[in-house]
């Protein structure tokens, strides 16, 4: 019998050797399990590389090279080179840079392979216009083809201001409209005057559905804006009843009179002709079915002109 250095019996020594050998095999299997999928994943993609240059063979940086229909691509570096990985298949590559024409080409990518595609960009014939963000007139709100500037404020614009007063909503949207807040000014604190283009409150014409709106009975006598004049109380018109507001930001005295020197404010209210037409149809249905109808409703129906043939729109 061989002597045992550790003083353990031969059976215990054999078990220790088996455990050590098994541990080495398990570690090798774990390393293989971690390395092999990475190699397989690398082989599942192909590489697309190349160089982007100009007409004089100078390298172009910042060129976006992408595969059409995917979100895979790359941006060329300072030396014009680009490189990205993509799954195998046939793709259309597109190279884009502001001021140059777009170039397209088709490549076929294989798993684990590398495809080289170079692009030569040509400057665009048309020059880019400068983007102005100051003092521009938006076509969504202003009628630009009219001989005078007209702002059209719709219901969505009024709601977006976050205000509750009609005059404050207009002030937030129309720069030429001013609605100052007076303090310790007697009745002017309650019926605040509104001005257009810096002129007096009585020089701005206010229309409701195209008809002249009466001014208030308050004369501004204190040291406030609009002293000695009377204006229209715009807050007496509920904002929830407004469909749109048309602001004519120019003098229109020749068409509307001397009270339109500053401009015209035409407030269009929401129409209820659909509801009235529906009410007329229901009344006719009740009469045909023999259902008694309230006399007041029938009388009001005749006053409004709803006789089934002539329906006025409100």
Do 293 and 283 form a contact (C-beta atoms < 8 A)?
Answer: yes
Query: Could you tell me which CATH class the domain 46-120 is placed in?
Result: mainly beta
Count of CB atoms situated within 10 Å of the CB of 153: 21
Model confidence, pTM: 0.46
CA 38/CA 23 separation, integer angstroms:
23
% the chain with pLDDT above 70: 70
Given this model, what pLDDT does residue 313 score?
44
Contact call for residues 103 and 120 (beta carbons, < 8 A): yes
* CA gyration radius, the chain: 40
158/169 Cα distance (integer angstroms): 6
Token pair in block for residue 262: 């500053």
Distance spanning both ends of the chain, measured CA to CA: 119
Closest-CA residue to 191 (of 233, 154, 161, 150): 233
Give strand ranges (E) for 183-258: 195-196, 204-208, 211-212, 242-248
Pick from 182, 179, 225: nearest CA to 206: 179
Average pLDDT over residues 97-103: 88
The residues spanned by each domain of the chain are 46-120, 142-268, 273-303
Lowest mean pLDDT, pick from 3-17, 268-282, 289-303: 3-17
Same fold, 46-120 and 142-268: no
CATH class given for the domain over 142-268: mainly beta
pLDDT tens, position by position, 177-217:
988 887 777 778 788 888 898 888 888 999 998 888 988 88
pLDDT recorded at residue 225: 80
What letters, b where the CB count within 10 A reaches 16 and e where it falls short, cover 89-113? Answer: eebebbbbbeebeebeeebebeeee
- Is residue 298 within 8 A of residue 291, CB to CB? The reply is no
- The bridge status of strand 114-116 relative to strand 119-120 is unpaired
pLDDT of residue 306: 44
């Amino acid at each position: 019998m061989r002597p045992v250095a550790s003083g353990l019996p031969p059976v215990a020594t054999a078990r220790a050797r088996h455990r050590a050998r098994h541990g080495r095999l398990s570690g090798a299997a774990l390393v293989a399990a971690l390395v092999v999928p990475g190699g397989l994943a690398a082989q599942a993609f192909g590489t697309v590389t190349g160089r982007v240059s100009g007409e004089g063979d100078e390298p172009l940086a910042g060129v976006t090279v992408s595969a059409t229909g995917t979100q895979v691509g790359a941006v060329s570096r300072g030396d014009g080179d680009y490189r990205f990985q993509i799954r195998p298949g046939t793709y259309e590559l597109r190279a884009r840079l502001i001021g140059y024409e777009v170039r397209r080409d088709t490549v076929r990518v294989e798993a684990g392979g590398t495809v080289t595609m170079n692009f030569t960009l040509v400057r665009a014939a048309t020059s880019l216009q400068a983007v102005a963000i100051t003092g521009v007139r938006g076509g969504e709100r202003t009628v630009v083809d009219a001989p005078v500037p007209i702002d059209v404020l719709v219901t969505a614009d009024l709601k977006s201001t976050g205000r509750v007063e009609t005059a404050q909503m207009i002030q937030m949207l129309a720069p030429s409209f001013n609605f100052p807040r007076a303090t310790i000014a007697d009745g002017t604190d309650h019926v605040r005057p509104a001005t257009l283009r810096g002129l007096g409150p009585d020089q701005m014409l206010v229309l409701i559905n195209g008809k002249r709106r009466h001014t208030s009975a308050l004369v501004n006598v204190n040291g406030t804006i609009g002293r000695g004049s009377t204006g229209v109380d715009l807050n007496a018109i509920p904002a929830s009843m407004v469909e749109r507001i048309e602001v004519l930001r120019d003098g229109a005295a020749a068409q509307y009179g001397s009270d339109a020197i500053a401009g015209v404010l035409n407030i269009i209210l929401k129409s209820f002709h659909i509801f009235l037409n529906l009410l007329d149809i229901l009344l006719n249905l009740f009469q045909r079915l023999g259902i008694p109808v309230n006399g007041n409703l029938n009388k009001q129906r005749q006053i409004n002109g709803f006789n089934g043939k002539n329906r006025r729109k409100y």
